[in-house]
Structure 1
Amino acid sequence: MLTIEILHEEVEELSASVQDQIMQCLQKAAELEGVNGEVVITMVTDERIHELNRDYRGVDRPTDVLSFALNEGGEEEPDIFLDEEELDEYPNMLGDIIISVSKAVSQANDYGHSFEREICFLAVHGFLHLLGYDHGTEEEEKAMFSRQEEVLQAIGLTR
């Protein structure tokens, strides 16, 4: 089971039905990937995602979605040794997904599909990045976008 928290930073709160669809998408993605844990999704303005993209990725422009994985485990991170009982006390914090609501609106219009499909697409895209998916090569992109479509179709969000 995936625990999902949706926050709104300086944007109008999404309707309950749209938030439910996002949660349904991510639950399906987690089920297909065989993972449990916690994810925080923050809906933001273009200005905010621009700042984050510039500060954390060195890309000075707005984007549609950013992901910040919390359990990637880099070389500089210390090893933490916990026994099975202690591990059960700590949730699997997968990370944060940041989505630009206005970018989702404009992309839905550009692609000719619903806002719900676009916002769910971005949420699943961000989620898969948290799990290690990437789209740096043609092969990686094919695998990631195929999984995204599988998730969206499984809950009926087709183009």
Structure 2
Amino acid sequence: MTTQRKITVEVTNETNEVLEPILNDQIVKVIERVLDSENIDVDCEVSVLFVDNPRIQALNSEYRHKDVETDVLSFPQYDSIKDDGFMEDYLYLGDIVISLEKARAQAHDFGHTFERELLYLIVHSVLHLLGYDHMVDEAKGEMRQKEKEIFKQIEVFKTSN
């Protein structure tokens, strides 16, 4: 899908970890791919915040009442874009918070690169921002299938699997 859509991605890194500048470009491309998969062709904005484990644990406790570290939190602006067909000229999709510590540990545990894990978490989170969920088996299957379809389209994953 070729679109004239403009995607604004605000990336903030609250950690001391220095990320490769090319990663920001990859994040935007991955977000574009997810939006393409949902036929969203209006201008969009997403905020991505990188934090450490204590910070994401505090956010998880505050907003989800779960006092544990997690890899990623998604804060959608809308209940569901995918189900409601909600469409305007401009969409602020919401906020994504990723623990770089947790992402690095998971990459090691799963035997793939840190970059792959980080970009997977972006795909996963943007799908949440669009209304996908994995709390029940049927919805989980739909979300996992969508993730797989998107991954097949992203070159960075073709070389790391």
TM range, smaller chain: 0.7 to 0.9
Residue number in structure 2 paired with 1:3: 8
Q: Which runs of 5+ in 1 are unaligned?
A: 74-86
Shift of residue 10 of structure 1?
A: 2.7
Please state how far the C-alpha of 1:68 moved relative to its aligned partner. 0.6
Point out the structure with max Rg over C-alpha. Answer: 1
CA shift, 1:17, in A, is: 1.9
CA distance in 1, matches of 2:24, 2:32: 12
Q: Distance in 1 between matches of 2:16 and 2:60?
A: 18
Equivalenced residues, count: 144
TM-score after normalising by structure 1 = 0.84
Give runs of ≥4 in structure 1 deviating > 6 Å.
none
Match of 1:17 in 2: 22
The answer as to 2:124 corresponding to 1:125 is yes
Letter in 2 for 1:58: H
- In structure 1, the residue matched to 2:84 is none
The reply on whether 1:42 has 2:41 as its aligned counterpart is: no
Residue correspondence of structure 1 range 34-73 to structure 2 within 5 A = 34-35=39-40, 36=42, 37-72=44-79
The corresponding residue for 1:136 is 135
User: Equivalent of 1:32, from 17, 34, 37?
Assistant: 37
Percent identity, aligned pairs only, is 40
Post-superposition shift, 1:43?
A: 0.6
Shift of 1:20: 1.8
Aligned position for 2:83: none
Q: TM-score, normalised by structure 2?
A: 0.83
TM-aligned CA deviation for residue 12 of structure 1: 2.2
Structure 2 gap segments, 5+ residues each = 81-87
CA RMSD of aligned residues (A): 1.6
Structure 1 match to 2:102: 103
Aligned-partner Cα distance in 1 for 2:16–2:135: 31
Q: How does 1:55-94 map to 2 (within 5 A)?
A: 55-72=62-79, 88=89, 91-94=90-93
